Amino acid sequence: NAGVMQNPRHLVRRRGQEARLRCSPMKGHSHVYWYRQLPEEGLKFMVYLQKENIIDESGMPKERFSAEFPKEGPSILRIQQVVRGDSAAYFCASSLDWNTEAFFGQGTRLTVV
Amino acid sequence: KQEVTQIPAALSVPEGENLVLNCSFTDSAIYNLQWFRQDPGKGLTSLLLIQSSQREQTSGRLNASLDKSSGRSTLYIAASQPGDSATYLCAVRVIQGAQKLVFGQGTRLTINP
C-alpha cells in the first residue's frame, strides 16, 4: 500500500503563473487535508476535503487559491497568479476517517521567482 | 480557538539518554492527538496516535501519554540514538471546526554521538 503521493516534489514558477499541486491519498482514504509550511514555521491548515466536497476551507486565502478532490483522480491544490509570498512547502495528508491516523506525503516545495 | 504549544523549541542531548518532549493544548475538546517526526526537507512521519479515551501508547522506544483534562501530552524517547535527531511535532484533532489537525511549532531534537 503506497503512502500519500505528492507531485511534483519541487515546482518553480514565475510570478503571475499558475501552480498546480497534486495529491493522491493512501488507498481507501477519502479524507484529504492540505497544509502549508513556511521556512522555520509550523504547519498551517489550509483546507479539508472529502470526495467531491470541501468540508473546511477556513485556512485558505480567499483569492487565488482553490482545492478540489474529484470522484476520480487526485486532489488538486491550485494557486493562480503566484507571488513570492506563496513560496513554501505544501503538504497533503490523508486519513481513512475523520478521527483516524493521518498520513502525510513528502510535500511539494514551491519556489516563486 | 485551539492552540498547541511545544516546549522546548530545541533540545540537544548526548546519545543514550532518555528524554521527554512536551506538548500542551488549550482546548480539551479533542478526538485524538498524534505525534510526528519531520526530517529536514522531508515530509512528516506518523509516530503515535492516542485517542482521547486513551492514556498512553507505545511503539518501540517511544511512549506517548495523554492527559486530556490538563491539556498535556508527553513523548518519551528511551535510549536516544543519533538517528532520532529530527523535529518532533504534536497535533490535536479538534472537535470544533471540522476535525482538522492543529499543530504545535515542534521541538528540534539533536542527539550527539
Rounded distance between C-alpha atoms, residue B104 and residue B17, angstroms: 24
Whether A99 shows a pLDDT value over 90: the answer reads no
Q: Name the nearest CA neighbour of A113 among A92, A90, A83, A93.
A: A83
- Using a CB–CB cut-off of 8 Å, the residues of B that contact A are 31-32, 34, 36, 42-46, 49, 51, 89, 91, 93, 97-106
CA distances from A27 to A74, A101, A106, B40 (A): 11, 14, 16, 27
Whether A1 shows a pLDDT value over 60: the answer reads no
Buried b (16+ CB within 10 A) or exposed e, A37-61: beeeebbebbbbbeeeeebbbebbe
A10-13 and A108-112 strand pairing:
parallel
Whether B97 shows a pLDDT value over 70: the answer reads no
Rounded distance between C-alpha atoms, residue B80 and residue A81, angstroms: 46
Residue contact A103–B46, C-beta within 8 A? yes
Q: Determine how many CB atoms are found less than 10 A away from the CB of residue B30.
A: 25
The C-alpha cell at B7 is 516546549
Residue contact A33–B98, C-beta within 8 A? no
Chain A residue with CA closest to B94: the answer is A99
Averaged pLDDT for residues B14-32: 95
Whether A8 shows a pLDDT value over 70: the answer reads yes
> Each residue of A22-45: pLDDT tens digit?
999 999 999 999 999 987 788 999
Q: How far is B43 from chain A (nearest CA, A)?
A: 4
The C-alpha cell at B75 is 513523548
Q: A28 by DSSP, 3-state: which? A: coil
Q: How far is B95 from chain A (nearest CA, A)?
A: 10
Query: Are the C-beta atoms of residues B74 and B21 closer than 8 Å to each other?
Result: yes
Mean confidence (pLDDT) of chain B: 94
